[in-house]
Amino acid sequence: MQVQGREKEAQIIYNTILKNKPDDMGLVAIACNNSITLNRDQNVFDSKKKIKSVTGDGLQHKLTSRQRKIIAVNQCLLTIFTNQTDQTQQLCDKLVKMYPDTQGQTVLIKALLLSRDHNTQGAAQLLTDYASKSPKNFLEMKLSAVHLLLSEGDIASSCKVLESLGNDTYKPGIVSALVTLYLAQGNRESASKILQQAVDWYRKNKVSTGDLSALWRQAVDFHLRSGQPAIAAKSLEELLKVNPGDKKTLAQLIIAYAQFDPKKAQMLSKQLPSQNDLTPTADVDALETSNWMMGTKVIKKATNKVEPSPGTPGGNELIQKKKKRKKHPKRLPKNFDPNSDPDPERWLPRHERSTFRKKKDRRNKDVGKGTQGAAVGASDQYDMSKMPPQQNKPSPNPQNSPAPEGPRQQQRKVQHKKKKKGSKW
């Protein structure tokens, strides 16, 4: 199930096996190892517990050497997820001593550590150096270096690594990647050059690596768009060798030769079938009168037309009999003056015009005058600025002067405290 991609179902089965605690230690170790690979960087604490049970001393004779090697590699990968860099380096060195054929895997792990420390150039250099020492892992290491460089956006260095692959550079996938990267840089000349080199290489070496028609067609399309019909003709010739009876490719080749070699285009055009061969039994009149040439709407309109009876006038006569509408003269306002220019602000609302004056609102004229809570009419009574001037008169006897009238004030009643009764003994 795990190989088929059904990881959730596989994880459930592994957990049920581990819960049952079988007596076979080898089965438990395999279930723990596979469960660790499913966890990846999730549930790291559970993975650490399981890796301890897998790397015990009592399992040496229960597992094969290949199984022990895979468990050791997974242990190195788990230390990366737990950010134990020093322990990862130590486990990688130990792994190479125990299993020398895992050196390529340890180099990839060390390159991953360098890239995590933001040293992408150092990681790419480590991979390319090991690729030159190990021809078996040459392509894998080079492509891994390209992957790291592209993850940092270094397109120029990635192109250099892809160009240094030797004959592997002309593989269809790598050619496609190089063309895409060159176009991303705006370097159409290099993209055209690598396509031309790929076409020439396959023509000289005659290597059969499956169907290369897609590569030829992409090269043809690119060179025709770039205005290079001579190079496109080479790719079309290779396509014709693969499919000699392909008339579409032959027509494209004639179009390409017509731009730089009209004589050869004329010779190739004789191989095209004539019009009579293409349509020997075609009846032009029948095709023109058939219903499929007309749309459904046109057919419906034609069927819905009613022929006029001989007694009724035709359509043209009815159109002529229609009364012509009289054009009424334009009515102008009474105060219209043709000499005066119209107001340029006449399209604006009235309140937005420059001549608009807001009306004064007299309703709230006396708001805010006087004391708080007093009536508006009584405010002038207490306004000292509006009082008439008084002459200085001798003040009368204050004893005989009556008390000024004013609002009656209620006297507060004095409440006498009640005497508390003494408590009885």
Structure tokens at 157: 């260095």
Could you give the CA distance from residue 109 to residue 76 in angstroms, rounded to a whole number?
A: 8
Whether 97 and 89 have beta carbons less than 8 Å apart is answered as no
**% of the chain exceeding 90 in pLDDT:** 17
Neighbours of 221 (CB within 10 A): 13
Range of lowest pLDDT (93-102, 175-184, 383-392):
383-392
Mean pLDDT of 381-386: 59
Predicted pLDDT at 90: 92
Query: What's the first-to-final CA gap in the chain, in angstroms?
Result: 98
User: Highest mean pLDDT range out of 26-30, 304-308, 364-368?
Assistant: 26-30
This prediction has a pTM of 0.56
Higher pLDDT, 286 or 154: 154
Predicted pLDDT at 307: 57
Whether 230 and 253 have beta carbons less than 8 Å apart is answered as no
Whether 81 and 44 have beta carbons less than 8 Å apart is answered as yes
Q: Confidence class of residue 124 from pLDDT cuts 50, 70 and 90?
A: very high
Could you give the CA distance from residue 299 to residue 293 in angstroms, rounded to a whole number?
A: 10
Instruction: Say if residue 218's pLDDT is above 60.
Output: yes
DSSP-assigned letter for residue 272: S
* Residue 42 CA, distance from chain mean position: 27
Could you give the CA distance from residue 129 to residue 142 in angstroms, rounded to a whole number?
A: 9
Mean pLDDT of the chain: 79
Predicted pLDDT at 63: 86
Q: State the DSSP string of 207-225.
A: ---S--HHHHHHHHHHHHH
Q: Confidence class of residue 398 from pLDDT cuts 50, 70 and 90?
A: very low
Q: Domain residues of the chain, as ranges? A: 1-98, 168-272
Range of lowest pLDDT (182-186, 219-223, 364-368):
364-368
Q: Confidence class of residue 127 from pLDDT cuts 50, 70 and 90?
A: very high
Whether 20 and 41 have beta carbons less than 8 Å apart is answered as no
Instruction: Say if residue 142's pLDDT is above 90.
Output: yes
pLDDT tens digits, one per residue of 277-309: 666 676 777 777 766 555 555 555 555 555 555
pLDDT tens digits, one per residue of 41-58: 888 888 888 888 888 777
Is the sign of the CA dihedral 241, 242, 244, 248 positive or negative?
Answer: negative
Mean pLDDT of 59-76: 87
Whether 162 and 177 have beta carbons less than 8 Å apart is answered as yes
- Determine which helix (DSSP H) or strand (DSSP E) holds 77, and give its type and residue range: helix 65-81
Structure tokens at 357: 């004056």
Range of lowest pLDDT (88-97, 119-128, 276-285, 292-301):
292-301
CATH class of 168-272: mainly alpha
- b/e per residue, 111-120, with b = 16+ CB within 10 A? bbbbbeeeeb
Predicted pLDDT at 421: 56
Nearest by Cα to 139 from 167, 98, 97: 167
Whether 125 and 111 have beta carbons less than 8 Å apart is answered as no
pLDDT tens digits, one per residue of 156-177: 999 999 999 988 898 888 998 9
**% of the chain exceeding 70 in pLDDT:** 74
Whether 182 and 159 have beta carbons less than 8 Å apart is answered as yes
Predicted pLDDT at 412: 60
Mean pLDDT of 190-200: 84
* Residue 262 CA, distance from chain mean position: 47
Could you give the CA distance from residue 167 to residue 175 in angstroms, rounded to a whole number?
A: 11
Mean pLDDT of 196-213: 73
Predicted pLDDT at 417: 57
Could you give the CA distance from residue 179 to residue 143 in angstroms, rounded to a whole number?
A: 16
Instruction: Say if residue 329's pLDDT is above 80.
Output: yes
Structure tokens at 156: 């120029």
